[in-house]
Amino acid sequence: MKVCFSGFGKMAREVHALAAVDSFFETVSILDPALPRVPGVLVTASPQEAFAPADLVFDFSVASACAQNAPVAASLGKRLVIGTTGLAPEAVEGIRAALKQANSSGVVSANFSVGVSIFIEAAKLLE
C-alpha cells in the first residue's frame, strides 16, 4: 500500500518507521513544506502532488492544514487516517462529507497518543 504523510512530526515519523519495516507499506510522499529532503520520497508543499501517488493518507499535521487538505485527499479517492488534534466539529463534518461524496473511507481520532487515550478514558470514569 502506497502511503502519504500529511505533516511529518513525531507521530508521523513513528508510523513511517513502523511502515518501513513492513513490505506491505511504501512511503511515496510527504506533504510538509518545512521538511528537508527524505531520500527516495517525494516531499512537497502541494497537496495534489503529494496525494496523487498514494492509496492512503496519514494526517498528523495541524488542525488548520488538516481541515483544508483532508477533503482534497478524500476528493481524490484516497483513504484517510487522521490523528490531528484540535479539529473543529465542522472540519470533521467536512471531511466526512468529502469521504462520502468520493465513496472513500477514513478514520478520525483526536489523538493517537497512548497517554492521551488513557487520560480520556480515565476522565470518563470521573463523570
pLDDT digit string (tens) for the chain, length 127 residues? 999 999 999 889 999 999 999 999 999 999 998 877 888 899 999 999 999 999 999 999 999 999 999 999 999 999 999 999 889 999 999 999 999 999 999 998 876 666 666 766 777 777 6
Q: What is the pLDDT of residue 74?
A: 95
pLDDT of residue 117: 64
> What are the residues facing 38 on neighbouring strands?
41
Residue 6 cell numbers, joined: 500529511
**Rounded Cα gap, residues 4 and 39, in angstroms:** 14
- pTM (2 decimals)? 0.85
In contact, 95 and 71? CB cutoff 8 Å: yes
Is residue 94 classed exposed, middle or buried when 0-12, 13-18 and 19+ CB atoms within 10 A define those classes?
Answer: middle
CA distance 28 to 113: 24
What is the C-alpha to C-alpha distance for residues 86 and 88, in angstroms, rounded to an integer?
Answer: 6
DSSP 13: H
Q: What is the DSSP letter of 60?
A: -
Place of cell 502519504: 4
**Which residues are 1's β-sheet partners?**
none
